[in-house]
């Protein structure tokens, strides 16, 4: 496999209406780092939390396709709300360096009970870049569900791209989970979080043995990673530090197929609703 370089844009974003700024920063990044093969922006980078169709996927996809082709880079320009069939989803387009939409990755788990009326996706999103390897995509809150990253790994994902939008005090916990995900799935984990008015930054890039390769602060920065995914395959074959081989163990153990759940206990946890004040 050949080397492949990725830039993650942790930008100082306004609450909404960031398209011009995002395009400017993509242009600057490709100019400053001409060896870059892919640029990744954060969840809802253009429109933020706004549900206005002005910031919908359909209204902006074409311009990012043209930009990817012009700059000859793969592009994940964050995610967008997508309006279709009387439902709204949160979708991150994957655009090739030829300007083609390779995949539309839908967020599986909206951030409920805060992110209401957004339909979750039903499929895990992977795509392959010829000669490089297999990529997976999670969007923000999907990180909190290890089943989603396991599904990506079981589809062969050697690196997981994670556009995020977190502005809350649980960012440190997310960074811990990013490391845990990389270790459990034996893959690279490329997490890029929004900055400015949208988020608190602190993006993190983790290697397939859980090693922190890059950890940003809260200011505007570009996270850079050069990968050769042969390393992932070697670690999956030989084990983390020559020890555990969890992906193969999971593959070979029928336990995960038995469908056993404790329905009574899960029901006892109550409804998914806004927390109430403690008495």
The domain locations on the chain are 4-268
Q: Is 16 exposed, middle or buried (0-12, 13-18, 19+ CB in 10 A)?
A: middle
Tell whether the model's pLDDT for residue 129 goes beyond 80. Answer: yes
Residue 163's pLDDT band (boundaries 50, 70, 90)? very high
**Alpha carbons 195 and 133: distance in angstroms, whole number:** 29
Q: What is the pLDDT of residue 260?
A: 67
Q: Which residue stretches of 52-102 are H helix?
A: 57-71
Reported pTM: 0.94
Domain boundaries 4-268, CATH class: alpha beta
In sequence order, the β-bridge partners of residue 264 are none
Evaluate whether 46 touches 77 at the Cβ level (below 8 Å). Answer: yes
DSSP state of 146: H
What φ, ψ does residue 179 adopt, rounded to 5°?
-65, -45
Of 196, 246, 153, the residue nearest 16 (C-alpha): 196
Asked if the bond preceding 80 is cis, omega within 30° of 0, the reply is: no
C-beta separation of 240 from 206 below 8 A? no
Degrees, nearest 5: CA angle 171-77-44: 50
- 18-40 mean pLDDT: 98
């Amino acid at each position: 496999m050949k080397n492949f370089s990725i830039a993650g844009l942790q930008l100082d974003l306004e609450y909404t209406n960031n398209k011009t700024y995002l395009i400017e920063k993509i242009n600057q990044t490709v100019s400053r780092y001409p060896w870059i093969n892919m640029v990744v922006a954060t969840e809802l980078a253009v429109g933020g939390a706004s549900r206005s169709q002005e910031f919908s996927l359909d209204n902006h996809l074409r311009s990012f396709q043209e930009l990817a082709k012009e700059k000859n880079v793969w592009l994940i320009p964050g995610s967008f709300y997508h309006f279709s069939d009387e439902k709204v989803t949160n979708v991150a387009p994957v655009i090739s360096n030829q300007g083609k939409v390779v995949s539309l990755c839908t967020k599986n788990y909206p951030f409920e009970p805060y992110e209401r009326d957004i339909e979750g996706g039903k499929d895990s999103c992977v795509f392959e870049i010829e000669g490089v390897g297999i990529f997976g995509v999670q969007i923000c809150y999907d990180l909190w569900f290890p089943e989603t990253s396991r599904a990506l790994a079981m589809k062969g994902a050697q690196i997981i791209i994670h556009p995020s939008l977190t502005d809350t005090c649980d960012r440190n916990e997310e960074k811990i989970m990013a490391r845990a995900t990389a270790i459990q799935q034996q893959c690279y984990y490329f997490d890029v979080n929004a900055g400015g008015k949208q988020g608190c930054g602190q993006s993190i890039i983790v290697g397939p043995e859980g090693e922190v390769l890059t950890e940003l602060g809260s200011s505007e920065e570009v996270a850079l990673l050069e990968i050769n995914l042969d390393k992932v395959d070697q670690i999956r074959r030989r084990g983390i530090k020559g020890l555990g081989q969890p992906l193969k163990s999971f593959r070979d153990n029928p336990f995960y197929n038995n469908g056993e759940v404790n329905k009574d206990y899960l029901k006892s946890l109550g409804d998914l609703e806004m927390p109430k004040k403690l008495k």
